[in-house]
């Protein structure tokens, strides 16, 4: 692990204190130092084993944390199964492609064995997301812990998740209601440097951009060679084929995503939308040319900020014994 020292950028404590608002006042670094002192070590050990066997799960764990925080805050609600009376978030359309729920339960089970009724599923997911980035050669950061798990998960509330087709105005509004600003938006979009997406998420850019529904109705902002490459992989009705979000580097957390956006070779319309604002455009163009350490620092800070969105603490929630069901 020593060879990754340069990637392990730690956000200064003073900076983190400024990032945290009153809603997360009861969170802290080292929250489990007495109740489960080896919690982070247990999670990391499991993550090393999980990603050694299935490295493609790194991006899904990060995405799962993102989807959790944008709906009801970072409360583990995305992990809950549907019940006979309620369709849960994980069964809503935006979450049907989420993967890795079994691995979350695996990590939680290890923690329950070591420290029963101590570590919340929301915290497990936050730690797994952090370690996913680090194990993909990205930065690491201190995770503020002490979240409690929510007891409610409603499929319709996933409308709060930014869709791949969103324009910048929509993205700014959806991030803004979560207390995330324009810089957080362009920085967190950089998470698309790892992982894959289904053809169905981009098919409208390739075949039916304005609703004409013919082969010439394409997104004019897609670079032509990239468009042809995507079309060679994705048919108009393809719901199963996966494409790399950052072709050639989709398992490595780096700044190459911004180079793709700058060259109009990004998969989502929401990625291209970053070029339509002067601030986000400037950030994209700067990091298209490197400045990796700055991006790593920015990403760490934005992840800390996002991880503290609308959290439940104290008696507001519970610590689930199993992440898919309430106690």
89 is in an annotated binding site: yes
| C-beta separation of 289 from 276 below 8 A | no
Give phi and psi for 212, each to the nearest 5. -75, -20
Burial class (CB in 10 A: 0-12, 13-18, 19+), 278: exposed
| C-beta separation of 153 from 80 below 8 A | yes
Give the up-direction half-sphere exposure of residue 306: CA atoms within 13 A in the CB hemisphere: 32
Burial class (CB in 10 A: 0-12, 13-18, 19+), 81: middle
65 catalytic per annotation: no
| C-beta separation of 143 from 307 below 8 A | yes
Pairwise CA distance, residues 215 & 193, whole Å: 29
73 is in an annotated binding site: yes
| DSSP state, residue 149 | B
192 is in an annotated binding site: yes
User: Of the listed 67, 198, 269, 287, which one is catalytic?
Assistant: 67
Task: Please choose, from the candidates 206, 204, 175, the residue with its C-alpha nearest in 3D space to the C-alpha of residue 189.
Answer: 175
201 is in an annotated binding site: no
162 is in an annotated binding site: yes
Tell me the two tokens of residue 244. Answer: 């790399």
Contacts of 295 (CB under 8 A, 6+ apart): 187, 190, 255, 258, 287
193 is in an annotated binding site: yes
Widest pairwise Cα distance in the chain: 62
Give the DSSP per-residue string, 202-248. Answer: THHHHH-SSS--STT---TTS-HHHHHHHHHH--TT-SS-EEESSTT
Classify strands 196-198 and 242-244 as parallel, antiparallel or unpaired.
antiparallel
75 is in an annotated binding site: yes
145, β-bridge pairs? 28
Binding-site residue set for Ca(2+): 68, 71, 73, 75, 77, 89, 193, 246, 254
Binding-site residue set: 68, 71, 73, 75, 77, 89, 162, 192-193, 246, 254
Binding-site residue set for heme b: 192
Q: Which residues are catalytic?
A: 67
Binding-site residue set for substrate: 162
């Amino acid at each position: 692990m020593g060879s990754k020292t340069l990637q392990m950028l730690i956000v200064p404590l003073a900076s983190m204190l400024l990032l945290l608002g009153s809603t997360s006042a009861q969170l802290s670094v080292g929250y489990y130092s007495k109740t489960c002192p080896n919690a982070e070590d247990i999670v990391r050990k499991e993550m090393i084993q999980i990603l050694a066997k299935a490295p493609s799960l790194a991006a899904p764990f990060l995405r799962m944390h993102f989807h959790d925080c944008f709906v009801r805050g970072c409360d583990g609600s995305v992990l809950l199964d549907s019940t006979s009376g309620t369709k849960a978030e994980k069964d809503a359309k935006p979450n049907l492609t989420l993967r890795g729920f079994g691995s979350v339960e695996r990590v939680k089970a290890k923690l329950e064995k070591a420290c029963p009724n101590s570590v919340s599923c929301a915290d497990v997911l936050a730690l797994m997301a952090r370690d996913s980035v680090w194990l993909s050669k990205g930065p690491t950061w201190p995770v503020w812990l002490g979240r409690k798990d929510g007891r409610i998960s409603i499929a319709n509330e996933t409308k709060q998740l930014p869709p791949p087709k969103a324009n910048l105005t929509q993205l700014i509004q959806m991030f803004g209601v979560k207390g995330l600003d324009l810089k957080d938006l362009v920085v967190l979009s950089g998470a698309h440097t790892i992982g894959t997406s289904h053809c169905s998420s981009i098919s409208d850019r390739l075949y039916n951009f304005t609703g004409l529904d013919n082969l010439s109705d394409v997104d004019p902002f897609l670079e032509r060679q990239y468009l042809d490459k995507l079309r060679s992989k994705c048919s108009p009705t393809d719901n199963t084929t996966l494409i790399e979000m950052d072709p050639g580097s989709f398992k490595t957390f780096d700044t190459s995503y911004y180079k793709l956006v700058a060259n109009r070779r990004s998969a989502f319309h929401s990625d291209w939308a970053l070029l339509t604002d002067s601030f986000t455009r400037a950030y994209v163009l700067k990091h298209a040319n490197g400045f990796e350490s700055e991006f790593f620092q920015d990403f760490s800070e934005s992840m800390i900020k996002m991880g503290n969105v609308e959290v439940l603490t104290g008696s507001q929630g519970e610590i689930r014994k199993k992440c898919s069901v309430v106690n």
